[in-house]
Chains A and B, each alone.
Chain A
Amino acid sequence: MRIMRVLAFFASAWLIAQSALAQGISNLPREETIIIENPQGTITNPPWFNIWMVARGGNSNGLQQLGMDTLWYIDPDAGIDGVWDNSLAADKPQYNADFTEMTVKLRDGIHWSDGVEFTADDVVFTVQTQMKNPSMIWGPVFLASVDTVTAPDKHTVVFKLKRPNSRFHATFTVRWNAAWIMPKHVFEKVEDPTKFDFNPPVTIGPYKLHSFDPNGKWYIWEKREDWQRTSLARHGEPGPKYAAYIDPGPPDKRVILQLNHQLDIIHDTSPEGVFTLIKQSPTSQGWFKGFPYAHPDPTLPAVMFNHQVEPFQNADVRWALALLIDIKAVSMASYRGAATISAIGVPPTGLYGEYYFDPLEQWLTDFEIDTGKQKYKPYDPTVGQQIADMLRPSMGEQIPTDPKEIAKAIGRGWWKPNPEAATELLERAGFTKQGDQWLKPDGTPFSITLLVEGDQRPVMTRAGTMIVQQWRQFGIDAKTQAYPSDFFPRVESGDFEAAIAWSVETWGGHPDLSFFLDSWHSEFLKPRGERQPPRNRQRWTHPELDKIIEEIRTIDFDDPKVQELGQEYIKLAVREMPIIPLMSYNVFTMMDTTYWTGYPSADDPYTNPVSNWANTKYMFVRLKPAKAQ
């Protein structure tokens, strides 16, 4: 027994001594290292850094954030120096009058991590190489758009386009990512660029690869000694000497690791995890100081109807289904109230409050639907306020009181549930009610199967479950069906009636809606059963919509008319209700200030905090070591 006791003592002592090592990183000063969640989890092909190939390695392992660069960035929020940032380009793109030619002026003094100077030849090589290899990510885009690309001098690139395209620069403009520039001097020596792993990567961003796990669990990047020779340097010196992107595992573990100060940035976790962190970790902060803490992504989860399936072609039916939803209950069920709701077809994100929500508020308040029996104003501008009031007894001071803050964090108005108006709309569409059940015009029960992503996206799945319950209470035979793995392929092939997903993605910081709207043009509509190009997953077409899209194509990206046309689309989408907008996709990014301060927030929205976005590179120049202060 004595021996056992001695052994137990030594075992405990060893465990306690190891607690420092349980921090998880060896041989690097923690005070100089930021540890970030890689939302892609474990990378299947860890040594692959050829980011130009489809689905081969990892993007969110720091590669596109710290190692790559391209011509321009648009911030989904206010931006470090405004929404638009000329990165490798010295200026905005210059188009000729009919948008068939784009000229780019490049920055001087930028170098790759191996000391070679970045020039226009790198850009030309990037485009030509991918055009020769359509299995490279941007190859097909260049093939479809570019006639010739030339470099008249070291710092100028001229693209001649196959047809007028006022948005060609978007290919080189980072929203989440974009066409990264290849190092010509490396790739030109490679026989087959599609089979080249680019390991170790020669970077043009301010960091270079330090080390990585052969099993794909972590990647460490080290600040380049010559970081001044990168495009980010004009905003300052990056704070952390090292950046580790790790796979921390499921949401509970992310929370535990941050409570132990072993994970500085959680990319995303559950609302419950955030509430735990807020309660137990004074050093953790979210995007908003108080509720809902999360960063609203410039995407818009919505109930999408398949417009090629009866009876969802009928706007009366779609509106009736919208009027049966109580968004307050959906918000509570999905995000535990930490949602930012939206009644219109753009997300309540970034600067969209100024661009779209504020200017349309009165129009929405005055908007009427005619059910045939009554004219009804469905918009309730106080719903955001009501959700805030519901949450206040349990969340107290965390809930904002200023109406402007509530609008930004929790949302503005939404549609008032109105079963009576829904009944009138359905009756006008030829539906009848027998007992407790609604029947379609052909006499069969009105049933809806709502596709959800299951445990792949629990928050949206919970929203879907609540919506289905509300439809069922009204007498519709509704149910959810979960497809965690093949949700998007199924939706894109039209194999669904309704689904909870997003088909609206915006720049966030810039009002131009072409990012998603262009592919909603009826010219791209596929028959049911054939795969629809991503975006117009609902397969909605409308002559007025086509006109809006065509007009956007002919005007400049920064033309003030962009916003006007965006508003026209929103009004049309309100009248037609092709999708029922619910809320922005709130990402619960949590940042720990134990080792680093200066993170972006709703009060200082200089960049997106969500760690898989390439824009997070801007965070690095604002991060300061906490212990030094």
Chain B
Amino acid sequence: MRTYALYLVRRFAQFLLVVFIGINIAYLITHLTPVDPVEQAISSVTMFGQSSPEMVEVMRKTLRELYGLEGSPWEQYVSFWRRMATGDFGPSLSAFPTPVSTLIWQALPWTLGLLVSSTLIAWIVGNFLGGLAGYYRKNSLLKALGILAMSLQPIPYYIVAFILLVVFGYLWPVLPISGGAEMNIDRQGFAFAASIVRHSILPVLSLVLVGLGAWFIGMRSLVSNIVTEDYVTYAELGGVDRRRILFSYVMRNALSPQLTGLALSLGAIFNGAIITEFVFGYPGVGTLLVRAVNSGDYSLVLGITSVSIIAVATAILVIDIIYPLLDPRVARS
């Protein structure tokens, strides 16, 4: 127990260090970018006519003060960590004065809904079919599925998304191809939920089609190795029901690495599915991040990146905390 406690302390310290270093790197990168939010804001005004040089100077000075960009780089850095300690990412520079956290919280449910569902569907279906394919190696239908999975995996995501758009948005236009829900729909009740589901079918399908292949192939290889183990052969010779061998002996053992992969995938969804959200015009963190980068809003970029770093590090931490309970050798090592 003491070993496990020590392991936990060490692992938590590591977690804090990783988060601290990760956020610092993100801070450095965002602040080294040549895109200046003040200049972006001025460009957006002057591009359409107001270009008196005097006016530009006054506006530049006022905006720098307003955005809190005055002060030395060190003062800005200290003020950033002071705010971070209270979970405050500060105001967005492209949507000033709305707090970054408000923007992230508005976008996050869409991304979580989309990516959690597609990741879980791809994981469950991919592993289930991959397990079957690894166990029933001579089944022609499963072989065909294997070929399909191998063929789908290398296709760039946006091609699959575009094909779905054309098929279900143009050739047989039965599904919405844009947005998260219908316009002007009452946001309470079943109709809104049904609209969200309908709008998520194509983005989820595109993510599942591409993601499923990797889980399928991974599980098939794991199962293919396990079925050659002595205990499986022994169980088969002993006349144990094949379905029981598959699900209780083989797939259960093969699931550990797949669970790790699932946890990492779930942690990474806080990044948002940038291409998916862009292609399907889906509201979410990915769309928010692209807009933040384009407008030089480094407060927002940093907020999204920090949430993502914390999420991934937390996912890994959770896995690492659970593993030693299953296998004590991990804590000792």
List the interface of chain A (C-beta within 8 A of B). 15-16, 18-19, 21-22, 24-28, 41-42, 44-45, 48, 53-57, 134-135, 137-141, 143-144, 170-171, 175-178, 194-195, 210-211, 213-218, 220, 244, 246-250, 252-253, 256-257, 259-260, 484-486, 488-490, 492, 505, 515-516, 519, 524, 531, 533-535
Contacts and interface: CB of A to CB of B under 8 A. Distances in A.
B56 interface: yes
A22 B54 contact: no
Interface stretch (B5-13, B76-84, B287-295, B314-322): B287-295
B200 interface: no
B53 to A, nearest CB: 4
Interface in B63-97: 63, 66, 92, 94-97
Contact of B94 (A28, A44, A247): A44
15 contacts: A19-B173, A26-B183, A44-B300, A45-B95, A45-B98, A139-B62, A210-B184, A215-B106, A246-B179, A247-B179, A250-B279, A253-B177, A486-B35, A531-B39, A534-B51
A445 B58 CA distance: 42
Considering the complex of A and B, which 7 residue pairs feature the smallest CB-CB distances, nearest first?
Answer: A45-B95, A249-B281, A215-B283, A140-B55, A533-B53, A140-B58, A534-B46
Interface stretch (B133-141, B164-172, B325-333): B164-172
Given A135-B66, A213-B183, A55 B56 contact: no
A137 B62 CA distance: 11
A218 B51 contact: no
B40 A55 contact: yes
Contacts of A143: 55, 58
Given A215-B110, A217-B281, A260 B51 contact: no
A485 B169 contact: no
Contacts of A135: 59, 62-63, 66
A574 B95 CA distance: 43
Contacts of A211: 183-184
A42 B297 CA distance: 15
Residue from the set A55, A171, A260, A489 with the largest chain B CB neighbour count within 10 Å: A55
B279 A249 contact: yes
A26 B184 contact: yes
A134 B58 contact: yes
A533 B43 CA distance: 10
A476 B227 CA distance: 66
Given A22-B174, A45-B92, A140-B58, A54 B291 contact: no
Interface of B: 33-36, 39-59, 62-63, 66, 92, 94-98, 103, 106-107, 110, 162, 165-166, 169-170, 173-180, 182-186, 191, 195, 198, 278-281, 283, 287-288, 291-297, 300
A175 B49 CA distance: 8
Contact of A195 (B51, B62, B97): B97
B49 A24 contact: no
Nearest to B187: A214
Contacts of B292: 44
A599 B36 CA distance: 39
Nearest to B107: A215
A42 B287 contact: yes
Given A140-B56, A215-B283, A27 B184 contact: yes
A516 B50 CA distance: 10
A42 B182 contact: no
A486 B34 contact: yes
B49 A490 contact: no
Contacts of A257: 177-178
Contacts of B58: 134, 139-140, 143-144
Contact of A249 (B45, B48, B98, B178): B178
A214 B291 contact: no
B59 A134 contact: yes
B178 A24 contact: yes
Contact of B43 (A21, A24, A247, A489): A489
Residue from the set A252, A485, A534 with the largest chain B CB neighbour count within 10 Å: A534
Given A134-B59, A134-B62, A218-B183, A176 B48 contact: yes
Given A217-B283, A220-B183, A220-B184, A176 B294 contact: no
B35 A489 contact: yes
Given A139-B62, A257-B178, A260-B169, 17 more contacts: A15-B174, A15-B175, A19-B173, A24-B183, A44-B288, A53-B96, A55-B44, A55-B94, A56-B96, A140-B56, A141-B55, A170-B49, A213-B283, A214-B106, A215-B110, A218-B183, A256-B166
B35 A249 contact: no
A533 B283 contact: no
A141 B52 contact: yes
Contacts of B281: 42, 217, 247-249, 253
Given A195-B97, A249-B280, A55 B295 contact: yes
Contact of B52 (A54, A210, A215, A519): A519
A22 B278 CA distance: 19
Nearest to A280: B170
A249 to B, nearest CB: 4
A514 to B, nearest CB: 11
A35 to B, nearest CB: 9
Contact of A485 (B35, B57, B98): B35
A485 B33 CA distance: 10
